[in-house]
Chains A and B, each alone.
Chain A
């Protein structure tokens, strides 16, 4: 499936007295890779959770291809074509790698298995397909989570720190895979702390600080932005 546009309009989400996301607006176009950066506690994951329905925003809209999705349940949003990975790995540990991918399939089982195995081959895990996902290494689990998300052929892909804990070789494979998703026309938004990854992969970067968007633009522009430097390093 080709990519979707995502329009976030004046989104607010507070926890108690803390405004985790405070009036953020951003727009994603299909077929591009976007980065979302910011110091810890700047609201990146909360924003992800609001897009995917894990959290219900207090105010504002989330519009996917012209259709409001805020207020829908997480599974409904997933069915609309939003796939995500998590900051802390969430594979199904006592299902095999193959079963992790098969859970969402229906109909022809052989065809589903063939597709799942193809995706596992794509990340070089076909040899481990019958191993419990919980027994795989951290990086391998991350790959399982990544291809599991692809089983639904999402239009918008949200990646929460895809590079964290993954070794260089594996990381390059993963980044290639993300670029291929973009080439298929999918929309990608990733949260990442590794600036090398962000600058090398993303075409457009949003910077959050204290729940507000303080800057956006091409990676080179962002790196030179004073407010960004200040948010990261202090005045």
Chain B
């Protein structure tokens, strides 16, 4: 679809927000009392933040919840009855004010969840998602979207992208059919846009991702991995705050005769992740797990999914208790 540029006045934002949340749930960022930013369902418009850099957690839970029920079952002595989840009951959600790194993650997740078979749970949630992106007017030392082929105003993954303008208003890019439907849904908020200057932050490029990908193919046994991961304590914080990490565990949980099967987030940083029933662990130490994390995102995924596994949001680094800074490490790797 051809993109159309419109002007959305700042006074109209609230009207658009309220209009969108009339019939559906809306998921928007708010600042918490301890200074963090988190997404919540249906916050009041005055509580929604427009000047945040990043939320602590990504918004991947909208399409890949931290716990997703897959089926229910009832067992008797002779038989087990399985009840499927009716994914058609999945409700529409509006994601409001997500930055371009977060919206770009949906395509990457799709490349994982639809790599061989189509994951219908993921796809249904994605189908029901309306994304109102928000270009970035500020950034910090953890941001590196420009190193992974994105920018603070990338429109990837948004249905409508709002880009801040220097005059305080917004340029609204209507990008998809979903976006077009909203723009035409009886609200007269989108005006003609006449090339007002956009307000965009500068994000310094830290590495060239194609060079990193090339380098990774040759450094599997390099001492770099041990030297640079000694301080990694092996928690799952980086994977759980990451917008593109998609590993999950599947569990059956039974109470009496009834039970359910669900999947929940998992992380390759955990020692348990690869342990075999025999007790053998092919990734028995942390350096191997850290290498896997970087290899997966910058070597295996470009090769298998034709996509990087990273959007440069910087959450893994800002959330890491021991400053395992991924951009810094890739920058170092590039030059070894």
The judgment on whether A and B are partners is: no
- The interface of chain B, by Cβ under 8 A from chain A, is none
- The interface of chain A, by Cβ under 8 A from chain B, is none
